[in-house]
Amino acid sequence: MNYLAIDASTEACSVALQFNGKIYSRYELCPQSHSLQLLPMVDQVLNEAGCKLTQLDGLIYGRGPGSFTGVRIGIGVAQGLSFSVDLPVVGVSTLQTMAQLAFVKHKQEKVIAAIDARMSEVYTGYFELNDKGIMEEKLPEAVLSPSVVAEHYAKFTQSAYGVGTGWDAYAEALNNLKNNEGSPEVLFPTAEAMLVIGQDGFEQGLSVSAEYAQPVYVRDTVSWKKLPGR
C-alpha cells in the first residue's frame, strides 16, 4: 500500500512517502516556518519517488497534541492534498509517534512521552509495544502539571524510556520516571515513524474523508491571566 505522511505538530516538520515498497522522507527543525516548508517537502518526496498523488492509497497526518498552530498547518495541508484527489486520511498521535520512534531506534518497549506544553504543563502518554510491533496507548493522553505525572503513571510502571521535550523542560519533577539518562535522544516525532501506525489505522478501518480530519489538542481551552490595567 502507498501512503504519504505529514507532520508539523512540533518544532520539527517532516514528510514521508511509502511507495512501491520504498520509503522517501524529509525532516527539518524549522520553528515558525512550517507553512513555508511543508508543501516543498511533499513535492520533493513525490518527485524523488516518481509518484503522483493519484497513485496513493491514503494520507496520514499528525493530529497532535503539540503546537496549536503547527497542528492546524499540518492538517490543513493534509486536507488540501486529500481533497484534490479524494484520498482517505488517518490521524496519528504525536506522542505515539515518538514512542514508536523509540522502539524503531532503540528497541524500547515501554515508553513515556512528554512534550513541553508551556504554561507549566506537559502533554504526556504511556505506551507499550503490542504484538503487531506498534506502540499502543495504555492511558488516555493528558495535559498535566509535571508534579502529578508520577502519580498518574504509578499503576503502570516505575520506570520507562523517556521521549520528548518535557523531560528537559521539567527535569527536576520528571527525571526519576525515565530509565534513560540525560536529554532524550528522541525529542520530536517524524513522519516516517507515523507510517506504520497510520497503515495499521487504515487496516482497522479508521480512515475518514478529508473533511473529517480533526486535531487532538488535549488542552481544549486556554486560560490567559489578565494583565494589570487591562
Is residue 228 scored above 90 in pLDDT? no
Distance CA 7, CA 219 (A): 19
3-94+189-212: CATH topology: Nucleotidyltransferase; domain 5 (3.30.420)
Q: Which CATH class is domain 95-177?
A: alpha beta
pTM over 0.85: yes
Helix (H) or strand (E) holding 127: strand 122-129
Domain ranges of the chain: 3-94+189-212, 95-177
Dump pLDDT digits (tens) for 189-222: 999 999 999 999 999 999 999 999 999 999 864 4
Q: Cis bond leading into 140, ω under 30°?
A: no
Written as one string, the DSSP assignment of 34-103 is: HHHHHHHHHHHHHHHHT--GGG-SEEEEEEESS-HHHHHHHHHHHHHHHHHHT--EEEEEHHHHHHHHHH
Dump pLDDT digits (tens) for 100-133: 999 999 999 999 999 999 999 999 999 999 999 9
